[in-house]
Structure 1
């Protein structure tokens, strides 16, 4: 029978729990949580995050709010290579393609999600079997004024393109730190967007992602790689 913790009462408790996971393998954590290990992460992309959520006592509520909504903290697991560099971009939230009049950076979902983040690096190199991958030391982070400003500029550039009907022209190269790209399991999952003449169009759902050019230096600064 597993005895996993309830929601952490404060930030210090959450950080202490996260620090207690550092150095442990995913197999060890899965056994403690009575969670079957997938063969790989191809079909179970969110499995590592779910496993850590259980150990940290995240409220498995609606994904529209933060993972630890009562603390205002979002959990982000980040797969890293042997030198501690991120292996992929980090999903932030779904990008709204319609109904964006009056939305500002200050009230945006992206800013809300990134206000306070518990980053947990996890070994992610394919040469390491999933069961043997270890969890790294956690980092509790909020954007500095400079980081907030850079993210705001990216967000405004990308949202302007969406509002002006240029969603189909957005590529992963737009934005210095924040990018928008399709987020759909298959190309048939279409959603409503705005075309270049202001007409409704059907397009792939999009998501906001943090580029490795942001998360790489962030991890390096804090872990002094």
Structure 2
């Protein structure tokens, strides 16, 4: 198995991303010496990890941008035949303790979404995994309106967390950003603020971008 070295400039990163466009997952995996799993049931993040290796992403699971030296976050996004995202997009783990005084300007969500390199990948389950193709990359930064929507959702969710309302938060909360359980299994627990101000246990949560938001980003980029 080989991993590409990290690109030194934004131009180099974009060049690599454009060179991937049109290639199949099987071709990328072969170039890196990796076997392709039969399906993604046990390897949900496998395609994202494959593309991270191909492009030389460095962050891994650390809470920072994938290409910190370039100020770029990498997001692989499965799409259908019409180019619409098939699932929500994970952003980062949500804090469930010591949230009082947290500000949007210093949040991990803002940091992660300041500049995103979107890599669309065919996600139709009828297409064998190895045959699914990588699409044209999109380099995106939120405009003023998009950032305002993200900030508003983030602030409302953090306020409910601070009030001990984690258990009442559902995927329906938020216009563009939602809070959802984020763990390998339901047994995973982390500390959270309870309604009476004490510390309790709950499943870890993560911030996710809703499908209509990412769909609009791709529509604007590709004009469909």
Give the alignment's TM-score, normalised by structure 2.
0.97
Deviation of 1:62 (Å): 4.6
Per-residue CA distance 1:94-119 (angstroms, 9 max, x = gap): 00000112210000010000011000
Per-residue CA distance 1:138-167 (angstroms, 9 max, x = gap): 001111111111100000010000001000
Deviation of 1:37 (Å): 0.8
1:57-96 paired onto structure 2 within 5 Å: 57-96=56-95
Q: Following the alignment from structure 1 to structure 2, what is the Cα–Cα distance between the partners of residues 40 and 60?
A: 25
- Structure 2 counterpart of 1:173: 172
- Structure 2 counterpart of 1:25: 24
1:115-134 paired onto structure 2 within 5 Å: 115-134=114-133
- Structure 2 counterpart of 1:13: 12
- Structure 2 counterpart of 1:187: 186
Do the aligned partners of 2:88 and 2:208 also contact (CA within 8 Å) in 1?
A: yes
Do the aligned partners of 2:71 and 2:115 also contact (CA within 8 Å) in 1?
A: yes
Q: Following the alignment from structure 1 to structure 2, what is the Cα–Cα distance between the partners of residues 109 and 171?
A: 20
- Structure 2 counterpart of 1:98: 97
Segments of 5+ residues of structure 2 without an aligned counterpart are none
- Structure 2 counterpart of 1:221: 220
The alignment covers a number of residue pairs equal to 224
SS at match of 1:158: helix
Do the aligned partners of 2:59 and 2:65 also contact (CA within 8 Å) in 1?
A: no
Deviation of 1:59 (Å): 1.6
- Structure 1 counterpart of 2:43: 44
Deviation of 1:61 (Å): 4.6
Segments of 5+ residues of structure 1 without an aligned counterpart are none
Superposed structure 1 runs of 4+ greater than 6 Å apart: none
**Range with greater deviation from structure 2 (94-103 or 172-181):** 94-103
Q: Following the alignment from structure 2 to structure 1, what is the Cα–Cα distance between the partners of residues 56 and 155?
A: 34
Deviation of 1:63 (Å): 2.2
Q: Following the alignment from structure 2 to structure 1, what is the Cα–Cα distance between the partners of residues 57 and 203?
A: 30
Per-residue CA distance 1:13-40 (angstroms, 9 max, x = gap): 1011100000000000000001111111
1:129-144 paired onto structure 2 within 5 Å: 129-144=128-143
